[in-house]
Amino acid sequence: MKLGVLFSGGKDSTLALHKAAEKEEVECLITLASENKESFMFHTPNISIATLQAEALGLPIIQKTTAGKPEAELKDLEEAIVQATKAFGIEGVVSGAVESVYQAERIQRICSRLDVWCFNPLWQRNQKALLEEILAQRFKVVISGVFAYPLDKSWLGKELNTELIGKLLKLEKTFGLSPSGEGGEIETTVLDAPLFKKKIEILDSEVDAKGNSGIFKIKQARLVAK
Amino acid sequence: MILVVDMNFKRDSLGVYEFVAPILAIAEEIENCVVRHYLEVTQEDIRNCNKIILSGTALKDNVTLSQPDKFEWMKDCGKSILGICAGMQTIGVVFGARLEKCWEIGMVQVSTLRANPLFSSSFKAYALHNYSVQLSPQFDALAESATCIQAIKHKRKEIYGVLFHPEVRNKEIIQRFVNAL
């Protein structure tokens, strides 16, 4: 079955892509760049890197910019999926939804309207196990956004590793923080993963943070041999 | 031992992560489980288990509904069965019920109609289906939403069906099935 992956460039959509590629044919990535930082649907601090990630994966990418207004952004997503069905003959869509009924419901509704398959291979996964699988598969992931107390700029740009996961799990116990960022507490950017033919090297970046909210902006990056 | 039947359109499909693994994660905390694709369930699997859970499937996956002959074992296996979504629809088809269009995606309000060991009162549940089952004479309706029947039970057998997905926001229903029946 030919599939398109809803791709933000973060850890969840990249892991979902890997699971889909094990079972079916991934034909393209579908990326929505939201101009609304508060969007519940599309979380994309470094969405401009998606093109580079697609190149690293050797996959075509359909990119669409959305104003990110609730419901209107869903129309934009629907149009992007239609574009992918026409351009690449995809029969279904894969998302990295884990816990969010809000996200999953909306993607399922769009797929149902378009009569395409919808797969969510991370659905209901234990968050600790999810983070551990990402490390076990040797993903290179950096924290590219923090949006909740007590996270601050010291987390931005840090690479996800065993120590960082341990800290996130402690914050789950103390503050009820979702360790994999299911509540939008953290966003991530993947720089390398098993299906990447090349890895991403960051050449220039900046941290833009205030209090418990901030982003790690990759200003310039390139692909290098693995 | 709980037999979890993978109802997805093919063996080892991408749907397993979404529709089988979450059930397994809940049931395995209580009892050992074995997973079999519906085309590979053997008499020995059925003999060796205490209870059986039939998984759901992707919204576009209705393959089992045209293959009731693959589930004839349900009729006289003597085991408690819980069918989830496509699992409930398949139970209905196997016992001669007709399907009716019922398109629900997202959280729905479910009202209990008849006392049962799995749930009570009114609660919200995650729905993902195109069809429900019309009630056949052999079954009671246990619950409904504003749109259609949400849960059924065979009148004489411990065979239950829930149209919603308890593995998403109502995990206790699977725990009760594994523990109590």
pLDDT in tens, B81-123: 999 999 999 999 999 999 999 999 999 999 999 999 999 999 9
Strand partners of residue B161: B83, B152
Contact A108 B17 (CB under 8 A): no
ipTM of the complex: 0.95
pLDDT in tens, B45-84: 999 999 999 999 999 999 999 999 999 999 999 999 999 9
Sequence-separated (6 or more) residues with CB below 8 Å from residue B7:
B19, B38, B54, B55, B56, B57, B64, B86, B87, B90
Residue A43 in this model has a pLDDT that exceeds 80: no
What domains can you pick out in chain A, each with its CATH number? 2-119 (3.40.50.620), 127-225 (3.90.1490.10)
Task: Quote the minimal CA–CA distance from B95 to chain A in Å.
Answer: 28
**Does B63 reach chain A within 8 Å, measured CB to CB?**
no
> What does the pLDDT average to over A167-176?
88
**Does B91 reach chain A within 8 Å, measured CB to CB?**
no
Task: Provide the b/e sequence for B102-117 (b: ≥16 CB within 10 Å).
Answer: bebbebbebebeeebe
User: What distance lies between CA B28 and its chain's CA centroid?
Assistant: 17
**Does B34 reach chain A within 8 Å, measured CB to CB?**
no
Residue B99 structure tokens: 């399907």
Q: Quick check: is B165 catalytic?
A: yes
Residue A149 in this model has a pLDDT that exceeds 90: no
B2-180: CATH topology: Rossmann fold (3.40.50)
Tell me which H or E stretch contains B5.
strand B2-6
Q: Which of A24, A116, A123 sits opposite B18 (nearest CB)?
A: A123
Task: Quote the minimal CA–CA distance from A83 to chain B in Å.
Answer: 20
What SS3 string covers A63-87? EEEECCCCCHHHHHHHHHHHHHHHH
Q: Which of residues 105-144 of A touch B (CB under 8 A)?
A: 105, 108-109, 111-112, 115-126
- How far is it, in rounded angstroms, from Cα A108 to Cα A86? 19
pLDDT at A34: 79
Contact B105 A122 (CB under 8 A): no
Contact A101 B106 (CB under 8 A): yes
Q: Quick check: is B85 catalytic?
A: yes
CA distances from A145 to A141, A207, B23, B113 (A): 12, 9, 32, 47
Contact B14 A119 (CB under 8 A): yes
**DSSP code of A157?**
T
pLDDT in tens, B128-171: 999 999 999 999 999 999 999 999 999 999 999 999 999 999 99
| Domain ranges within chain B, ordered by starting residue | 2-180
